[in-house]
Amino acid sequence: MTKDPREILDKAPMSRLQIAIIVLTSVLNGIDGFDVLSISFASPGIAAEWSVDRGALGVVLSMELIGMAIGSIIIGGIADAIGRRRTMLGCLALMAFGMFVTPTSTSIAQLSFWRVLTGLGLGGLLAAVNATTAEFSNLRRRHFCVAIMSIGYPVGGVIGGSVASWLLTSYDWRSVFYLGATVTTLLIPTLYFLAPESVHWLVRKQPKGALEKVNKAMIRMGHAPIDVLPEVAPQVRKKSMGDLFRPGLLGVTVVVTMAYFLHITTYYFILKWVPKVVADLGFAVSSAGNVLVCANIGGAIGGTIFGLLSMRFDPKKLTVATMALGAVFIAAFGYSPADLVSMGLLAGLCGFFGNTAIVGMFALFAHSFPTHVRASGTGFAVGVGRGGAILSPIIVGFLFEWGFALPAVTTLIAIGGLAGAAVLVFLKIQKQEAPAAAALKKAVSA
């Protein structure tokens, strides 16, 4: 009987290469996190240099999120069609280009265009990275590995934000984007030489040369090569993103997408508006950036704790609880005393619970969607969910323009997170069978 390499990887201890790839996907997600936050770090300088009001600034803050929404949905589907590795390399190249040209902008229109372009790469990368992490993890550590990958996002914000705050003491807002572009460029050869294509994807799609590529990857991960690939029915190979909307997956797709959308609408107030809010209270731009760094430190700590807890407790229940608590603390941020210590502490709590809920959602994406639509499902949920990220800074900007005070703004924006937690309660996940067992069941029923 032919051994299925997917089952071997699912059951065996993780090799050094697999661990290295999880570290790499965490770093890739960190670049994703830094780039999304880069416009937040730069926004006070942009507003001062170009005399941009809060309403217009809210639109600018949403531009890369529009690109991310489109990229997550479209490029997420491409990752299921052409492979995880090629998709991630292409996305990194697009991101590096977008970040390099952003500082050349001389108007809001130019800046917005380059941020949309960069966002296309960001969105596609996020979908492919989540699928890659799940497929290079064994079953026992899968939730933990996805959690570790996910906390790369706030860690990227912490490290990049700290460096950005230091740069902004001596240079203008453009330096933030040059930093991100340089690091992103360096990651392209790192990914190219380190990471093979996903074995799960190769076995499922079986493109030309799949057996040779699977065996090279298996040998690098310390396993014996196989003689022949497991048989996969042609109709299974051709399954597509449309399966997300067919019975069996439709309910999962709707629930996780709605929950993610509602939570992101609330959480992105912290990521997009905190530096501007703090700077408007009279604090230095570098100090305003440090408050956002506190949120990301909290997010990194929360994500790590979630990863550990998810190996013993139900990830869905953990995610519902942290999503609701994140909304509560975001509402409380508006009532914070106007000093850096209080705002930093509350921002840290917002990040702790808010980002932990995001980590939980990515764990649920990886667990809820099977291999053939894992990147597509993640991409769709994240892409539509980014609609909340797009709306959040715009809604907040116009609430400020209409005269709402900070406490009223945070209270209103927190409603989304509470609603998201309520929706997620209804998520029902079907237990996924091992690949060989699923194939046998299909053959018997045929």
Q: How many domains does the chain have?
A: 1
The verdict on residue 1 lying in a domain is no
| Residue keyed to tokens 């770093």 | 27
Neighbours of 440 (CB within 10 A): 12
In 10 A of CB 107, how many CB atoms? Answer: 9
CATH code for the domain of 382: 1.20.1250.20
Measured between its terminal Cα atoms, the distance across the chain in Å is: 20
Q: Is the dihedral of CA 191, 435, 377, 302 positive or negative?
A: negative
Residue 2 lies in a domain: no
CA–CA separation, 103 and 178 (whole Å)? 8
Contact by Cβ (8 Å): 149, 33: no
Distance CA 388, CA 405 (A): 21
pLDDT of residue 239: 54
Give the pLDDT score at 437.
42
Burial annotation 340-371 (CB, 10 A radius, 16+ → b, else e): beebbebbbbbbbbbbbbbbbbbbbbbbbbbb
pLDDT at site 27? 94
Q: Residue type for 359, please?
A: V
446 assigned to some structural domain: no
pTM given for the model:
0.76
- The C-alpha angle with vertex 62 and arms to 352 and 270, in degrees rounded to 5, equals 20
Question: Across the 446 residues of the chain, what is the mean pLDDT of every consecutive 10-residue run?
Answer: 82 95 94 78 82 75 82 85 93 95 88 91 89 91 87 80 79 88 95 95 90 95 91 60 80 92 92 84 80 87 89 90 96 90 93 93 85 81 84 87 91 95 87 45 37
* Alpha carbon distance 130, 142 (integer Å): 11
Residue 238 is predicted with a pLDDT of: 54
* Any domain includes 338: yes
- The pLDDT value recorded for residue 326 is 96
Residue 42 lies in a domain: yes
- In whole angstroms, how far apart are CA 381 and each of 190, 227, 244, 441? 28, 38, 10, 29
Residue 19 lies in a domain: yes
| 383 located within any domain | yes
The verdict on residue 117 lying in a domain is: yes
- The sign of the torsion formed by the CA atoms of 305, 308, 313, 318 equals positive
Residue ranges making up the domain that contains 147: 7-441
431: three-class secondary structure by DSSP: coil
> What pLDDT is stored for residue 233 in this prediction?
61
What DSSP string runs through 283-304? Answer: --HHHHHHHHHHHHHHHHHHHH
